[in-house]
């Protein structure tokens, strides 16, 4: 046994017609395979970690497409999410092929230092991607697990990585299209988990990033990791129904605070040297928006919808439900006018189907925005998927939409919002 460099053999695993591969010692450069140029940058020493890295890059040569960045663009995926999930696939496929992956790419002290550094920065997204990319990498995975398990965000990251692995291996031989499928799921989960929680008067916020990630993880866990449940279901076509609003409604909803330089009790003394507007003037809100999910699972009767209409004077109120491939969103109240009683009720069938487009509509209406729904969202054919659920929660978080699962709670919330703070 001599100490000569341990060159990898990309030629053996390369399925393309490429004749020449250039092998470069990685040194300070991150090991990688430039598939479109036939360049493999890897460590060439005899250590077990270097062997793992060489095998990992060989795995990319054999299993990954030439231009993953183009695939990310085509599928509207963030490149780092796609790369992390592809790393998971490569690591686990290497292990499945009989390659020894127990050493991982870094030694234990390096893994500990890296994991602690990311934990210190509280970068939840990076933690999740790191946990996902390290899946199937022996010592790396075990060490990350040891360091992250005692932290709330770290534990969520580990759980997400576990679910990602299950989602990937929900079929016997995962291909790159499965990387795309799981990446879409992970991206939806991260987008939802990282979005700031809605802040509404009369409703407490959902907490910090850790809590957001945990709630997204809960949705993902409930939906499961089967191939079907982590595939995005297209939304149905949303049709708007605007019946005549023949009844006038008096009232208002919400309140708005404005800084002023006139008043009795100074409440914002910090503004004294800025603009002198140390007083606060509370005004009536011009109204908000309420979207009611009238699908079968909500078991709403017309009386309950009427209660909401009564509790939300001056608001835009709409109700929606769907059939197999489409759905109707009916506007019940707008600009201080309501529809006649005959229009109050589910506008279409008992399915959801159009939750996503309906929420998109709500996101463009006036604040405060309330979505009355049990959160059971479906796409066409009334099929459920984790991605669709996460997408809806993501919209609610990004556009400050408060979700109320229960009708009576929604009415109470509207009543609280309608009462100006004393």
Partner 1 sequence: MSKKPSVVTCWNVVEAVLSSTNRALLHGPPGTGKTFAACRLGLTGDQQKVFSITLTEETPAAELRGHYILKDGKYVWHDGAAIAAWRCGGRLIINEIQRGGPDVHSLLLNITDDLEIAEMDLPSGEKVKPQKGFMCVATMNGDPKELLDPALLDRFPVSIHIDKVHPEAINQLPNDVQQAAEKTALIEEEERRISVRAWYAFARLREKLMKSLDEEQAVDYAARAVFNSRASDALDALKIAKSEAG
What residues line the site for partner 1 (CB under 8 A)? 1-15, 19-21, 23, 46, 51, 54-55, 58-59, 62-63, 93-94, 96-100, 173, 175-176
Whichever of 19 and 248 has its CB closer to partner 1, that residue is 19
Q: How far is the CB of 185 from partner 1 (least distance, A)?
A: 20
Tokens of 380: 């066409």
Query: In whole angstroms, what is the distance from residue 418 CA to residue 315 CA?
Result: 11
Whichever of 93 and 397 has its CB closer to partner 1, that residue is 93
Whichever of 156 and 179 has its CB closer to partner 1, that residue is 179
Q: How far is the CB of 115 from partner 1 (least distance, A)?
A: 27
Question: Would you put residue 121 in left (φ > 0), alpha (ψ -120 to 50) or beta?
Answer: alpha
Tokens of 201: 């008067």
The alpha-helical segments, DSSP class H, found in 312-385 are: 355-363
Query: In whole angstroms, what is the distance from residue 28 CA to residue 36 CA?
Result: 22
Q: How far is the CB of 181 from partner 1 (least distance, A)?
A: 14
Query: In whole angstroms, what is the distance from residue 422 CA to residue 418 CA?
Result: 12
Query: In whole angstroms, what is the distance from residue 253 CA to residue 255 CA?
Result: 7
Query: In whole angstroms, what is the distance from residue 226 CA to residue 197 CA?
Result: 28
Handedness of CA 369, 374, 378, 381 (dihedral sign): negative
Whichever of 57 and 141 has its CB closer to partner 1, that residue is 57
Residue 274: HSE in the Cβ half-sphere, 13 Å Cα cutoff: 9
Query: In whole angstroms, what is the distance from residue 166 CA to residue 157 CA?
Result: 14
Query: In whole angstroms, what is the distance from residue 303 CA to residue 325 CA?
Result: 28
Helix (H, G, I), strand (E, B) or coil at 288: coil
Report the candidate in 169, 194, 192, 189 with the shortest Cα–Cα distance to residue 179.
169
Q: How far is the CB of 186 from partner 1 (least distance, A)?
A: 21
Residue 43: HSE in the Cβ half-sphere, 13 Å Cα cutoff: 15
Query: In whole angstroms, what is the distance from residue 197 CA to residue 214 CA?
Result: 12
Whichever of 50 and 145 has its CB closer to partner 1, that residue is 50
Q: How far is the CB of 317 from partner 1 (least distance, A)?
A: 51
Whichever of 20 and 421 has its CB closer to partner 1, that residue is 20
Whichever of 97 and 281 has its CB closer to partner 1, that residue is 97
Q: How far is the CB of 226 from partner 1 (least distance, A)?
A: 22
Q: How far is the CB of 74 from partner 1 (least distance, A)?
A: 17
Whichever of 95 and 363 has its CB closer to partner 1, that residue is 95
Q: How far is the CB of 76 from partner 1 (least distance, A)?
A: 22
């Amino acid at each position: 046994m001599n100490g000569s460099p341990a060159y990898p053999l990309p030629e053996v695993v390369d399925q393309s017609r490429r004749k020449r591969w250039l092998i470069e010692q990685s040194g300070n450069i991150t090991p990688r395979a430039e598939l479109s140029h036939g360049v493999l940058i890897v460590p060439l020493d005899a250590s077990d970690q270097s062997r793992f890295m060489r095998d990992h890059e060989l795995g990319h040569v054999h299993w990954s497409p030439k231009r993953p960045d183009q695939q990310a663009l085509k599928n509207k995926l963030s490149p780092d999410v796609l790369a992390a999930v592809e790393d998971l696939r490569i690591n686990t496929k290497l292990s499945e092929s009989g390659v020894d992956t127990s050493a991982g790419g870094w030694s234990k002290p390096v893994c500990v230092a890296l994991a602690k550094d990311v934990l210190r920065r509280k970068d939840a997204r990076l933690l999740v991607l790191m946990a996902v990319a390290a899946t199937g990498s022996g010592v790396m995975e075990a060490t990350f697990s040891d360091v992250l398990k005692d932290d709330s965000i770290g534990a969520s990251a580990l759980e997400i990585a576990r679910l990602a692995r299950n989602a990937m291996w929900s079929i016997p031989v995962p291909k790159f299209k499965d990387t795309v499928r799981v990446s879409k799921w992970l991206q939806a989960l991260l987008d939802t988990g990282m979005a700031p929680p809605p802040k509404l008067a009369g409703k407490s916020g959902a907490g910090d990033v850790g809590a957001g990630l945990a709630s997204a993880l809960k949705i993902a866990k409930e939906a499961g990791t089967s191939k079907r449940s982590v595939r995005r279901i297209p939304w149905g076509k949303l049709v708007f129904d605007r019946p005549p609003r023949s009844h006038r409604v008096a009232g208002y909803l919400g309140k708005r605070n404005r800084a002023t330089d006139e008043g009795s009790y100074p409440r914002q003394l910090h503004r004294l040297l800025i603009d002198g507007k140390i007083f606060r003037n509370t005004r009536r809100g011009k109204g908000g928006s309420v979207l009611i999910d009238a699908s079968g699972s909500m078991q709403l009767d017309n009386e309950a919808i009427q209660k909401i209409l009564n509790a939300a004077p001056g608001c835009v109120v709409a109700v929606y439900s769907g059939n197999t491939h489409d759905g109707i969103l009916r506007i019940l109240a707008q600009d201080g006018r309501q529809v006649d009683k005959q229009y109050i009720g589910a506008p279409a069938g008992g399915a959801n189907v159009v939750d996503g487009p309906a929420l998109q509509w709500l996101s463009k209406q006036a604040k405060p925005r309330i979505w009355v729904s049990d959160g059971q969202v479906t796409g066409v054919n009334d099929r459920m998927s984790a991605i669709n659920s996460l997408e809806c929660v993501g919209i609610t978080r990004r556009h400050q939409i408060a979700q109320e699962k229960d009708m009576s709670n929604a009415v109470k919330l509207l009543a609280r919002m309608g009462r100006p703070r004393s």
